[in-house]
């Protein structure tokens, strides 16, 4: 069941399953729509074998700076993650399931710049899994890292930006192995994500002060060298005020190039082609938020 009809690749996979003798039913329904979900469960009770389990993998993104995000934009990930999870929980309370699996994200565990709403939605899924276990019900919430071949991360290049921060990509084959291990783990919440803790440490200033990181990080690494601000923010602004028009353009270009290099993890600002669109260089929506913050701070903004 999903919001949209199966893609061509999904349709081929479904037909391949049917060719093996499996019965595969496809229904279009938004898991955040309680009535639509209830109708599917009514059909299962009426026409299908007893339900054995649930895997909830729906999600939507609406990235941006928290201070500039509207209530409507913040709520986008909450529909499938929060409303959808709770609806499935309520519909299966009295059903003897073998498994109830929620696809959460490391964003809810480690945090993610520009994704406060996504982080909150996934933290809710993790909490719901713990709540179900406390009720004696099956539940496993898997905080996934970025899959490199399937899903939202692969479609939006989030996997590449995450890798620069130490969150390594998950192939489909590895993901299926992690799924099996998580479902057999016997615990309500699992983080399934390969992490280069050395690289991760270089991007997190709170590594020493957060107990979770203190436990899991095997060794502390010196922060990766990044292109610093040209000078203190107030000094740059002062230089721009007194500089000639030609010098202002040079100062701004040098400053912006340094921040782009730091955001895209490019070795030197001199390696940047200033005539090439940033998206062609790998800038995604989360990096754009980070870059905007760097530029604002460097120019004395809030």
List the one residue out of 152, 138, 148 whose CA is nearest residue 175. Answer: 148
Assigned token pair, 19: 């060719």
Distance of alpha carbon 152 from alpha carbon 172, whole angstroms: 13
What mean pLDDT is reported for the chain?
84
Residues 166-188 as b or e (16 or more Cβ within 10 Å = b): bbbbbeeebbeebbeebbeeeeb
Assigned token pair, 151: 């899903």
- Residue 159 CA to its chain's centroid (Å): 9
Task: Order the strands of the 189-192 sheet from edge to edge.
Answer: 53-56, 99-105, 140-144, 189-192
Whether residue 65 has pLDDT greater than 70: yes
Mean pLDDT of 126-144: 96
Does 179 or 239 have the greater pLDDT score?
179
Phi, psi of 105 (to 5 degrees): -145, 150
Contact 208, 217 (CB under 8 A): no
**Residue 48 banded pLDDT, cuts 50, 70, 90:** very high
Mean pLDDT of 173-197: 92
List the one residue out of 145, 141, 147, 218 whose CA is nearest residue 185. Answer: 141
Helix (H, G, I), strand (E, B) or coil at 100: strand
pLDDT 10s digits, 70-120? 999 999 999 999 999 999 999 999 999 999 999 999 999 888 878 899 999
DSSP 226: -
Distance of alpha carbon 267 from alpha carbon 252, whole angstroms: 19
Contact 189, 139 (CB under 8 A): no
Cα dihedral 140/142/148/150 (nearest 10): 40
pLDDT at 220: 46
**Residue 33 banded pLDDT, cuts 50, 70, 90:** very high
pLDDT at 130: 96
**Residue 135 banded pLDDT, cuts 50, 70, 90:** very high
Assigned token pair, 234: 């107030």
pLDDT 10s digits, 259-276? 888 877 776 778 788 888
pLDDT 10s digits, 215-235? 665 554 444 444 444 343 446
Contact 272, 257 (CB under 8 A): yes
Assigned token pair, 42: 């009514």
* Predicted TM-score of the model (pTM): 0.70
Contact 69, 110 (CB under 8 A): no
């Amino acid at each position: 069941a999903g919001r949209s009809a199966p893609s061509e690749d999904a349709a081929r996979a479904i037909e391949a399953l049917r060719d093996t003798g499996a019965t595969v039913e496809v229904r279009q329904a938004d898991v955040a729509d309680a009535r639509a979900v209830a109708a599917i469960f009514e059909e299962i009770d009426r026409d299908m074998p007893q339900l054995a389990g649930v895997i909830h993998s729906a999600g939507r993104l609406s990235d941006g700076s928290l201070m500039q995000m509207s209530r409507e934009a913040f709520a986008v990930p909450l529909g499938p993650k929060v409303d959808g999870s709770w609806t499935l929980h309520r519909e299966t309370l009295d059903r003897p399931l073998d498994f109830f699996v929620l696809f959460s994200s490391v964003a809810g565990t480690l945090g993610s710049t520009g994704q406060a709403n996504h982080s909150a939605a996934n933290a809710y899924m993790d909490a719901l899994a713990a709540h179900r276990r406390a009720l004696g019900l099956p539940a496993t919430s898997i905080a996934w890292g970025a899959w490199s071949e399937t899903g939202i991360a692969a479609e939006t290049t989030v996997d590449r930006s995450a890798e620069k921060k130490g969150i390594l990509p998950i192939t489909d084959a590895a993901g299926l192995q992690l799924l099996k291990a998580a479902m057999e783990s016997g615990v309500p919440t699992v983080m399934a994500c390969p992490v280069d803790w050395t690289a991760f440490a270089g991007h997190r200033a709170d590594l020493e002060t957060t107990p979770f990181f203190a436990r899991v990080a095997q060794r502390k690494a010196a922060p990766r060298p990044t292109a610093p601000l040209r000078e203190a923010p107030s000094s740059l602004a002062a230089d721009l005020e007194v500089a000639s028009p030609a010098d202002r353009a040079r100062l701004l270009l040098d400053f912006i190039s340094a921040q782009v290099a730091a955001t895209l993890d490019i070795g030197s600002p001199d390696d940047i082609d200033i005539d090439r669109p940033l998206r062609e260089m790998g800038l995604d929506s989360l990096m754009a938020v980070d870059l905007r913050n760097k530029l604002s701070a460097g120019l004395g903004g809030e």
